[in-house]
Structure 1
Amino acid sequence: MSGSDAETYSYLGPAGTFTWAALGQVPGAAGKPWRSVNNVGEALDDVVSGRSVAAMIAIENSIEGGVSATQDALASIPNLRILGEYLVPVQFVLVARPGTALADVRVVSAHPVAYAQCRLWLERALPGHGHIPSPSNVAAPRDLLESDVADAAVAPPGITDHFPLEVLAEGIGDNPNAVTRFVLVSRTAPVPARTGSDKTSVIAELPSDEPGSLLEMLEQFATRGVNMSLIESRPIGDALGRYRFVIDLDGHILDERVADALLGLKRFSPNVVFLGSYPRADNHRIEVSERYGDDSFLDARDWLRGLISGEPS
């Protein structure tokens, strides 16, 4: 890896996308080279090949749920680690070439996910409009300057800082509270110290399709007091009915309850991918009852050692 590659960060571009905004929250990326890519696969390939030290990718949306392309890529590409998560409010504006009025709009260009999140507003404001899919939230407004196929585009706020366009309407998203969660992914590295406000991400497969298999996997966490903040299934792809599960846990791998749950999961599942333990974006401190605290696990282990060594009770 060259010196410049060691400092380069990849993101879904071009400048102005929500991914670009998420990368702007990373202190270590400030002043370093940023490499714009076209999709998640290209971003992670940059990391694996050493072209970039890390990549910012979207992994979950509060409206659409998990980003399947990201989940599948993290499951299939080895030796990746999540370094941190970042939250970006998802709001949209409708932009057009200068001189265009809202009443003139017949065709709207938009990324399919953005279009889905603005569909109700667009149907109310522009009944009968047509939609042209765009590869990104910045490509849509940029293409207005290169083609007249579309009259307007759905774009992130602030897009007029990058292109000479006019805002026809603001706040056109159907859910004003929509948020996208991004993760910064690098190659395998030592686990960072726990902060008390952490999240652990794993991907696991069931050993069989027998009744109760999913319940048995979930019990690995429930019996140790580990809360799951996310669990989603994704097809493995080798046969119908075969699924892997993307799981986010409240806590850090250095927390005794989480470590013990992961040991149980490893004994149970034929394939466990550890994606990392990292600070939560919301800084929410994880509270657990006393029986699931570190001291309880350490005391139980000392008790067992005492029994084995013949120490008096």
Structure 2
Amino acid sequence: MSTDATGIPTRRTYSYLGPAGTFTEAALGQVPEARDQIWRPVRNVAEALTDVVEGRSDAAMIAIENSIDGGVSTAQDALATMPGLRIVGEYLVPVNFVLVARPGVRLEDVSLIAAHPVAYAQCLQWLSAHLPEHAHLPAASNVASAVGIVDGVSDADAAISPPGILEHYDLELLASGIGDNANAVTRFVLVARTVAPPAPTGADKTSLIAELPDDHPGALLELLEQFSTRGINLSLIESRPIGDALGRYRFVIDADGHIQDERMADALLGLRRFSPKVIFLGSYPRADRAIVHYPERYSDDVFVEARDWLRGLISGEPEA
């Protein structure tokens, strides 16, 4: 823990999509160093990251990818356009939903359900089976749907929310586990101001964003070859429009490995020579702690030996 000028310990501040009870709060709860610190609820991803850039928070927890819907475009676009940020960790949160209502309401009383559109889509099969005549009232967030019921400002009879909502509000649990995919997971990342990456663990991931130099046949293949020719697996690649012209895209990439790995460093050098803009978002431990495996011909020793061989040729050393 850091200290102020008088030596008194100071608490760190973490921004997260609030209010209390969200999946983002559950992700922040997985960060050991965030416990007993200040948690600052915000309204959106841009606000959370702006807190970090402007120094109001030491780090922000944001959702970056969902196993059902893919990448979170608002987070990807914010990381692409806000300089001075670095991902320092990732966390996985199972996405389970509950149906809640004011105390005394029964399931058979429900006809209007408040829900964030994404949550509603992920529970549609359950709703069609158990409440086939219901209507949907869109909500701004998974927690706002329930808060509106508590505050009496919503006309809904019930709300779809994360299970954590029951720890913060007096609500009746009508049904649990109503999501259509029991294996749904959201990936969150902890974002801080730019710092040196943590030391490699052998179970690491590197995130970056790259643009193509121009639109020509094989341009994307050339970008991908920077990784494939060095034995690096990509666990995520998604395109996002740059916004300056139709048909111009940036690519959000997650690559298995750490920037201090020789193969990853070599790939990033190749990518830098190829792409007009590369944004390094960070190298950090994988949430699942799965060890990254690669062919022996791409080990660090092979890259080091190749560089030593080249230096020897340049210096005129006799070949063994």
TM bracket, shorter-chain basis: over 0.9
Identify if the C-alpha distance between structure 1 residues 55 and 143 changes in structure 2 by more than 3 Å, giving closer, same or farther.
Answer: same
1:293 correspondence with 2:299: yes
Stretch of structure 1 that moved more, 134-143 or 79-88: 134-143
Tell me the alpha carbon deviations over residues 202-225 of structure 1, each in whole angstroms, 9 at most, x when there is no partner.
000000011110000000000010
Stretch of structure 1 that moved more, 133-142 or 229-238: 133-142
Distance 1:312 1:44 in 2: 55
Identify the residue that residue 49 of structure 1 maps to in structure 2: 54
Identify the residue that residue 97 of structure 1 maps to in structure 2: 102
1:190 correspondence with 2:193: no
Identify the residue that residue 206 of structure 2 maps to in structure 1: 200
Q: Which runs of 5+ in 2 are unaligned?
A: none
Identify if the C-alpha distance between structure 1 residues 312 and 245 changes in structure 2 by more than 3 Å, giving closer, same or farther.
Answer: same
Stretch of structure 1 that moved more, 103-112 or 199-208: 103-112
Distance 1:59 1:167 in 2: 29
Stretch of structure 1 that moved more, 224-233 or 114-123: 114-123
- The counterpart of 1:61, out of the listed 66, 71, 84, is 66
Stretch of structure 1 that moved more, 139-148 or 227-236: 139-148
Conserved? CA contact 2:241–2:250, under 8 Å: yes
TM-score by length of 2: 0.95
Percent of pairs identical after alignment? 70
Task: Look up the SS of the partner of 2:151 in the other structure.
Answer: coil
Distance 1:129 1:48 in 2: 43
Identify the residue that residue 128 of structure 2 maps to in structure 1: 123
Q: Offset of 1:5 from its aligned partner?
A: 8.6
Runs of 4+ in 1 over 2 A off after TM superposition: 2-6
Conserved? CA contact 1:6–1:53, under 8 Å: no
TM-score by length of 1: 0.97
1:85 correspondence with 2:90: yes
Stretch of structure 1 that moved more, 135-144 or 291-300: 135-144
Identify the residue that residue 150 of structure 2 maps to in structure 1: 145
Stretch of structure 1 that moved more, 124-133 or 162-171: 124-133
Q: Offset of 1:6 from its aligned partner?
A: 6.7
Distance 1:40 1:132 in 2: 23
Identify if the C-alpha distance between structure 1 residues 267 and 6 changes in structure 2 by more than 3 Å, giving closer, same or farther.
Answer: farther
Conserved? CA contact 1:85–1:182, under 8 Å: yes
Aligned-partner residue type, residue 113 of structure 1: V
- The counterpart of 2:23, out of the listed 3, 18, 22, is 18
Aligned-partner residue type, residue 232 of structure 1: E
Identify if the C-alpha distance between structure 1 residues 238 and 164 changes in structure 2 by more than 3 Å, giving closer, same or farther.
Answer: same
Distance 2:237 2:263 in 1: 18
Identify the residue that residue 307 of structure 1 maps to in structure 2: 313
Q: Which runs of 5+ in 1 are unaligned?
A: none
Q: Offset of 1:287 from its aligned partner?
A: 1.0
Tell me the alpha carbon deviations over residues 263-301 of structure 1, each in whole angstroms, 9 at most, x when there is no partner.
000000000000000000000001111100000000100
Identify the residue that residue 79 of structure 2 maps to in structure 1: 74
Conserved? CA contact 1:200–1:276, under 8 Å: yes
Q: Offset of 1:158 from its aligned partner?
A: 3.4
Aligned-partner residue type, residue 86 of structure 1: Y
Distance 1:38 1:120 in 2: 29
1:32-43 pair list within 5 angstroms: 32-43=37-48
Task: State how many pairs are aligned.
Answer: 312
Distance 1:194 1:6 in 2: 27
Distance 1:55 1:6 in 2: 15
Distance 2:91 2:155 in 1: 35
Conserved? CA contact 2:67–2:185, under 8 Å: yes
Identify the residue that residue 170 of structure 2 maps to in structure 1: 164
Tell me the alpha carbon deviations over residues 72-96 of structure 1, each in whole angstroms, 9 at most, x when there is no partner.
0000000100000000000001011
Task: Look up the SS of the partner of 1:196 in the other structure.
Answer: coil
Conserved? CA contact 1:92–1:170, under 8 Å: yes
Q: How well do the aligned residues superpose, as a CA RMSD in angstroms?
A: 1.3
Identify the residue that residue 27 of structure 1 maps to in structure 2: 32
